[in-house]
Amino acid sequence: MQSPAMAPTRDHLDWPFFDDSHRALAAELDGFVARGGLDDVDHGNVDAACRQLVAALGADGILRHCVPKAFGGASEEIDSRALCLVRETLAYADGLADFAFAMQGLGTGAISLSGSPALKEQVLPKVARGEWLSAFALSEPDAGSDVAALACAARREGDHFILDGEKTWISNGGIADVYTLFARTGEAPGTRGISAFVVFADTPGFSIVERIETIAPHPLARIRFENCWIPATQLLGSPGEGFKIAMRTLDIFRPSVAAAAIGFARRALDEAVAHAKTRKMFGATLSDLPTAQSTLGEMATAIDAAALLTSRTAWKRDVQKQPTTREAAMAKMTATENAQWVIDQALQLFGGRGVRTGEITERLYREIRALRIYEGATEVQKLIIGRELMKEAAR
């Protein structure tokens, strides 16, 4: 939880990537945190904490940034820069709050992009108000980064589809009310034979097989579909378009993963600076030592480098309306890797105190690690960047 005396810097909002609406949003977010919007959340009960956080974010209007304006959203289309600002602010204050917000958008992004008007009306307003929790079900036991290996199947029977298979590492698994599911429908080999669906948690044949515990507690689960019938009206887009829909969704939200990493890194730097100014050492303070000053300088530079890449990506999507696959991969890779290093340096500056359970550096160290894996591991981001470069070279 954020201490009252510490708040994230807003200097980067003066960059040309942002406008007055984003600066107003930042002020609203700071006010939400300062008013205690994230207080009194029992992180010992992760499921209950996520429900409470979603309800609080919905009541304050913050979740409106996860859906289009026509269905209760804050802008005509989902604004990537707004997503980034929200995630950076929440991650700075509370990693679980960032997670709760992110999943509301990621879990329903495909519905916003490709859902029928009826599905959008049924789901999106409830998500924006914090009444429903959502999930994004893509990964499988044998298909994580390799989406082409996906095995969960959906076969058409009249005006229904029948789902069979498993998904794993599903964020909000076990507590979500609505799941965006990707399953193989077989129109073509590999990724061209995948379709996207909406599945509600109370659908017969849907079950939670296992809850998954991680170093930074979040609700995760392995889920199963056994002879699970859903109406064909819950198909998103057309059959065989699932992979494209998933990638379009990730392109929107991947820069916000980078922003969350930046939020964690900014908090680590601020904590390290505050500690260095007061820690007595060798007749002076830690901040007086050239080695500490050098480390803090490198930390600040790594954060700004990541923030520039992230802001550029979100701006290019929002303003130029151009594809950002390569830019999003660069931002996600750089921000998460830099944040891991920044947080490690902060912990080193704290010394033994840094690894003590309950210290902010210890929490940040656990929180950042997953960001280098989910929504495409760093190694996958490198492949994406290289692939996009080869596409450009072939033109």
Q: What distance in Å separates the CA atoms of residue 342 and residue 268, rounded to the nearest whole number?
A: 7
- DSSP per-residue letters across 148-192: GG---EEEEETTEEEEEEEEEEEETTTT-SEEEEEEE--SSSGGG
Sequence-separated (6 or more) residues with CB below 8 Å from residue 307: 12, 262, 335
Which residue, 241, 92, 234, is CA-closest to 161? 234
Beta-bridge partner residues of 381: none
Q: Which amino acid appears at position 206 of this protein?
A: F
* Alpha-carbon distance values, 323 to 311, 328, 373 (Å): 15, 9, 23
Residues identified as active-site:
375
Q: What distance in Å separates the CA atoms of residue 77 and residue 113, rounded to the nearest whole number?
A: 9
118 burial class (0-12, 13-18, 19+ CB within 10 angstroms)?
Answer: exposed
How many Cβ atoms sit within 10 Å of the Cβ of residue 228? 22
Tokens of 119: 């599905």
Tokens of 109: 């992004």
How many Cβ atoms sit within 10 Å of the Cβ of residue 76? 9
Instruction: Say if CB 255 and CB 310 are below 8 A apart.
Output: yes
- DSSP per-residue letters across 289-305: SHHHHHHHHHHHHHHHH
Helix (H/G/I), strand (E/B), else coil: 1:
coil
